[in-house]
Structure 1
Amino acid sequence: MTDLTQGEQRRETEAAWGAVLSMSLCVAMLIAAEFMPVSLLTPIARGLGATSGQTGQAISISGFFAVATSLLITTVAGRLNRKAVLIAMTALMLISLAMVAMAPSFAVLMLARALLGICVGGFWSLATSVIMRLVPATAVPRALGLMYGGQAIAAAFAAPIGSYLGEIIGWRGVFWALTPIVAVNLVWHVVALPSLPARSRQSFGAFIGLLRRGYFRRGLLAVTFSWGSAFTMFTYLRPFLEQVTGVGVEAFSLMLLGLGCAGFVGSALSGRLVGSRVERLLCLPALIMGGCTAALLLAGQSPVATGLLLFVWGAMNTAMSVIWMSWMARTVADQPEAAGGLMVAAIQASILLGALIGGLLLDVFSVTATFTGSVILAGVAVVLAGNGKRLLNPVRR
């Protein structure tokens, strides 16, 4: 009888990690789909008779809808089984990719990207709370590290592969190539994810209740400044490398590849290093990434030094997600879905604002001013995070 029980437990554990892997693939495809237009901007614009600036808004509109959905998903989904919601989000991503591939006009492209934004906001808002239900509490950081490994894969390979394949099969062919992978992922969700009944009906009152908690409000501000700093720098990395470091397209692509591959290191290490005292790590992402950005201002003329600094930055960029989501899982365990919605909304909004602030500094002053702005935002995030004690739930200290 004991052997049978152990066998059942082993099968349940294997099934849980299979579901985590399914979500990891979905993360990779979401990141690839969201940022693929970056590497295909010019051919998409040419194919749809739009300007590059207009086509760039295809990224902004997905971010806008991701923010809106992250705040609405837990309320709109109500008591729907979370497995069904995740499957619906993945199906929506498949529809969006097919619409982009077939888009006859710029308007259809924007509609397709809006649908993708809904998928991004909905999936990310529920992802951490679902992970918390799939594996034991002690395994949550490892599972989050595995899930964010999908982000590292997409960050490392999506842009260069998309750019390369775009020259061979065209930009529409690139989006068509993503559809069978997402279709397989959709089937995997159906098979691997267990039934996840909604535990309670969420309302906007849950958001207000969370924002009244001083420790969570302070953490949310630290999250906003951390991601804002990161994307103020990352969005304008190419002009910095071209103007300051003086690298060409090939070297730039290699540095991006190295930065993306560093994400594997960050996701693997953070998943193992996040222990019971996660609050001690909260200041590290902004501190190390801000430090790397400041060092680039001093040593950015050296391609070797720049490559090493970007590798460290890339590793911590992925670790940042694991660290902060682990903090959320432990300090707001009573409201994981509402907390996830607020976290995703803050991150998506900070990405948009970071790109906006960085662009203004670049246009008015220079790319070094953009990187300086990133360092300042990181400094604010470090001050807000501090030693992490003020970001702990006083009931659970």
Structure 2
Amino acid sequence: MSETMIEQNETSDQGAWGAVLSMSLCVAMLIASEFMPVSLLTPMAEGLGATTGQTGQAISVSGLFAVATSLLITTVAGRVNRKVVLVGLTALMLLSLVLVAIAPSFAVLMAGRALLGVCVGGFWSLATSILMRLVPKHEVPRALGLMYGGQAIAAAFAAPLGSYLGDIVGWRGVFWALTPVVALNLVWHLVALPSLPVETRASFGTFGTLLRRRYFLRGLVAITFTWGSAFTMFTYLRPFLEDVTGVGVDALSALLLVLGGSGFIGSSLAGRMVGGRIERMLCLPALVMGACTAALLLIGNSVIATAALLAIWGAMNTAMSVIWMSWMSRNVDDLPEAAGGLMVAVIQASILLGGVIGGFLLDLLSIRATFAGGVVLALVALALTGDGRHLLNPDKET
């Protein structure tokens, strides 16, 4: 191979990883925009004159639109260049932040959250399949780990900063602060992402083909309870920390920083540890996160114990996405966009389910009941996942 060809390959590799980094920042902004209200739930409820449970459920409306978009994006977008689609979704995210920041009522708030749901569903449906085109197959877990590092960044800084800044500039000011970063990311997409023409157009019949694969359908059911458990707890974490752990704004911000900061460890380790035996890792998210939630019910009144448990929970939270998306990339690599759409639809429906169940238990009983509900869902997820072997494509070597 000539020196010129080597230099061209190195330039191509650098450009591919630059595009991955651009997507990682987009992930960070999506996560910050979608889950920032977790750290602002109490003041948002007060500002809009609603209960905490009602506000949590209203915020979760983004999940409903994410579900619809994830199922429609590959068919509605048709043969539109995927770079154009990602740029358009990022522009919608910018608009949604402005709407939430100026929201004078629940109607406008929900409109902004609905637009955000479109962005979330569209981006996540295409993200893994795009990474599979940007980097070599053996580098996909690493690229996923890097992209989900954006999730860790958001979890590490968005929630505690949101809690801290919300006390200074108000919850609306926090959402305004996100807009220039999203605008910058929009420009980065335009520069870094290569042209991504669509090779084959998916149809609704493609979803039927996937759902007839029993191993994939079983995986979707396991994912439902895994994410549902996580977000029954996570959506209502602030009320738990305020009422049970008994922390103020400063300690709350510190605990959220611990939870998010540990996500760096989770995404980094998962990207490196996902090996040939992916099925052995599928049960870990429900097992570890469910156990942490159960432990919080027992010793959540201790700030130190709570910090330790949130660190473990946060690390597994980011690892969870890398693990399950790696499973998808290896077992459904012939239809990655359609598979990604179905997975995102199920994940977003599960997040919505967690918000609704958690809010219902909180308003009807107590925050402890909300966390107990999350533990029950984790146990169901564990039973469905088992050793993971029944979730593998029988036509592939493992």
TM-score tier after normalising by the smaller chain length: over 0.9
Against the structure 1 CA distance between its residues 174 and 365, is the aligned structure 2 distance closer, same or farther, given a 3 Å change threshold? closer
Deviation at 1:249, TM superposition (A): 3.5
Corresponding position: 1:369 with 2:369: yes
Against the structure 1 CA distance between its residues 17 and 377, is the aligned structure 2 distance closer, same or farther, given a 3 Å change threshold? same
Corresponding position: 1:329 with 2:329: yes
Deviation at 1:231, TM superposition (A): 1.1
Correspondences of 1:3-22 after superposition (within 5 Å): 3-22=3-22
> Separation in 2 of the partners of 1:171 and 1:77?
34
Deviation at 1:228, TM superposition (A): 0.7
Deviation at 1:386, TM superposition (A): 1.6
Correspondences of 1:58-77 after superposition (within 5 Å): 58-77=58-77
Aligned position for 1:269: 269
Contact 2:67 2:348 in 1 (8 A): yes
Aligned position for 1:222: 222
- Cα shift readout 1:152-178 (whole Å, capped 9, x = no counterpart): 111121133234334544444433322
Against the structure 1 CA distance between its residues 43 and 390, is the aligned structure 2 distance closer, same or farther, given a 3 Å change threshold? closer
Deviation at 1:361, TM superposition (A): 3.1
- Cα shift readout 1:271-326 (whole Å, capped 9, x = no counterpart): 11111221111111111111222222333333222211111111001100000000
> Separation in 1 of the partners of 2:42 and 2:286?
33
> Separation in 2 of the partners of 1:254 and 1:108?
31
Aligned position for 2:143: 143
Correspondences of 1:28-43 after superposition (within 5 Å): 28-41=28-41
> What amino acid sits opposite 2:231 in the alignment?
F
Aligned position for 2:81: 81
Deviation at 1:100, TM superposition (A): 3.2
Aligned position for 1:344: 344
Out of 257-266 and 294-303, give the one that drifted further: 294-303
Aligned position for 1:287: 287
> Separation in 2 of the partners of 1:252 and 1:175?
19
- Cα shift readout 1:106-160 (whole Å, capped 9, x = no counterpart): 4333322221111111011111111111111111111111111111111121133
Contact 1:225 1:377 in 2 (8 A): yes
> Separation in 2 of the partners of 1:310 and 1:42?
20
Deviation at 1:328, TM superposition (A): 0.4
> What amino acid sits opposite 2:124 in the alignment?
W
- Cα shift readout 1:44-93 (whole Å, capped 9, x = no counterpart): 5676x654566555512222111110111111011111111111101111
Against the structure 1 CA distance between its residues 61 and 168, is the aligned structure 2 distance closer, same or farther, given a 3 Å change threshold? same
Equivalent pairs counted in the alignment come to: 396
Aligned position for 1:259: 259
Aligned position for 1:393: 393
> What amino acid sits opposite 1:95 in the alignment?
L
TM-score w.r.t. length of structure 1: 0.93
Against the structure 1 CA distance between its residues 94 and 249, is the aligned structure 2 distance closer, same or farther, given a 3 Å change threshold? closer
> Separation in 2 of the partners of 1:44 and 1:171?
7
> What amino acid sits opposite 1:304 in the alignment?
I
Deviation at 1:254, TM superposition (A): 1.6
> Separation in 2 of the partners of 1:201 and 1:33?
30
> What amino acid sits opposite 1:391 in the alignment?
L
> Separation in 2 of the partners of 1:297 and 1:102?
37
Against the structure 1 CA distance between its residues 242 and 95, is the aligned structure 2 distance closer, same or farther, given a 3 Å change threshold? closer
Aligned position for 1:245: 245
Contact 1:228 1:353 in 2 (8 A): yes
Deviation at 1:27, TM superposition (A): 0.6
Contact 1:50 1:106 in 2 (8 A): no
- Tell me, which stretches of 5 or more residues in structure 1 are unaligned? none
Aligned position for 1:118: 118
Q: Percent identity?
A: 72
> Separation in 2 of the partners of 1:129 and 1:12?
18
Aligned position for 1:306: 306
Aligned position for 1:358: 358
CA RMSD, 1 decimal: 2.1
> What amino acid sits opposite 1:180 in the alignment?
P
Deviation at 1:372, TM superposition (A): 2.6
Deviation at 1:43, TM superposition (A): 5.8
Aligned position for 2:174: 174
> Separation in 2 of the partners of 1:297 and 1:105?
35
> What amino acid sits opposite 1:235 in the alignment?
T
> Separation in 2 of the partners of 1:41 and 1:366?
16
Against the structure 1 CA distance between its residues 356 and 84, is the aligned structure 2 distance closer, same or farther, given a 3 Å change threshold? same
- Cα shift readout 1:339-379 (whole Å, capped 9, x = no counterpart): 11111111111111122222333344443333232222112
Aligned position for 2:132: 132
Against the structure 1 CA distance between its residues 70 and 238, is the aligned structure 2 distance closer, same or farther, given a 3 Å change threshold? same
Q: Which secondary structure state, in structure 1, belongs to the residue aligned with residue 199 of structure 2?
A: coil
> Separation in 2 of the partners of 1:30 and 1:20?
15
Q: Which secondary structure state, in structure 2, belongs to the residue aligned with residue 350 of structure 1?
A: helix
Against the structure 1 CA distance between its residues 302 and 45, is the aligned structure 2 distance closer, same or farther, given a 3 Å change threshold? closer
> What amino acid sits opposite 1:119 in the alignment?
C
- Tell me, which stretches of 5 or more residues in structure 2 are unaligned? none
> Separation in 2 of the partners of 1:290 and 1:52?
27
Deviation at 1:237, TM superposition (A): 2.5
> Separation in 1 of the partners of 2:63 and 2:11?
38
Against the structure 1 CA distance between its residues 69 and 214, is the aligned structure 2 distance closer, same or farther, given a 3 Å change threshold? same
Out of 56-65 and 109-118, give the one that drifted further: 56-65
> Separation in 2 of the partners of 1:237 and 1:168?
21
Q: Which secondary structure state, in structure 1, belongs to the residue aligned with residue 393 of structure 2?
A: coil
Contact 1:283 1:388 in 2 (8 A): yes
> What amino acid sits opposite 1:36 in the alignment?
M
